[in-house]
Structure 1
């Protein structure tokens, strides 16, 4: 059974319409995919900005606290300044002596007010740290109470 020209033309047109609809459907799907990609990209960008903002706030807060901590007077500032005014001198070996480092750690940030020298600057020092107060030598780590009693400084 042969198809007439008219039927053949109708079949061709129908086939072209189907192909056209398929092409339109493919195009619509691609557009939808692109929209989804753009939306997900925008979502990820906004997430990135939120995370970056939170990190920036945390870093700024940490820096602010660090600066505040460094600038606020330490607990023993007045005591360390008094020891210095009374002529107390600490000799030690900061690089390798754990006891000298422990004495320094007791003062914390206030140690900057202590009159500190390396033990090699004074002949005769056998133990570190050694405190020289009013001409007397006191070897080893000294408690704040003992330093206060020897100098008359208040804690």
Structure 2
């Protein structure tokens, strides 16, 4: 009697495992999407989440990158669990066809997500972790990259692939397409002015300055105060808005983004007190986060006019 070969456990449970991991990824990216759309800040043990999630890499065509991630994870959930809803005893042929078709989609999706996550990890470690250390780590991004890696492994081991060579060729083709598309988005369509290194696009400050704002800015500069920020940081832009264009032009500003204009990323990375942006250095003390002009006046010993006109 010939014994039937037993299916490995990883193949028996691969679809539920893929579906479960994809659900976790969907929850992760849904949280980031809602936080971004509602104007909130993601909870994070370091400032890395805010730095990365507020950077130019966090949006594609005006929408949060996390939204695209959510859609990708949701598709993986459907591809993984959809065929399981068909009863194999009642409609064996349909179940088999769905499984064969969706396995290819699962592999293509997991490969694309792995390559894209790998690129984002490269960006995070080179542009944020390298200059700022642990403060530049986005744990949500790490989680998403881990989920993508596990999904890829599960799609490879989750079934017996008949033509491994064809699978390798397809995966390589998808990887090239994803990389080319990613570079095109971030260095072309997502940056229409072509301004990246030493000339990154900075939102314009449209508020004007009153005498009080200008006087405070001059006082801060005379005291040696400095504001450390990044061109992509929304709170830094809000800080500039409070001063107004004329006044902020007189503030000593240090650009910390590696790809920002006149970047001094090395200086920012050498100061342990800088854990996020903006950070003010006033009279030897460091103040993290956007400061009201009253707070800056108080911490700097400013005794001039305080009838500041700009608000958020």
Question: Would you tell me which structure has more strand in proportion to its own residues?
Answer: 1
TM norm structure 2 = 0.25
Asked which structure has the greater CA Rg, the reply is 1
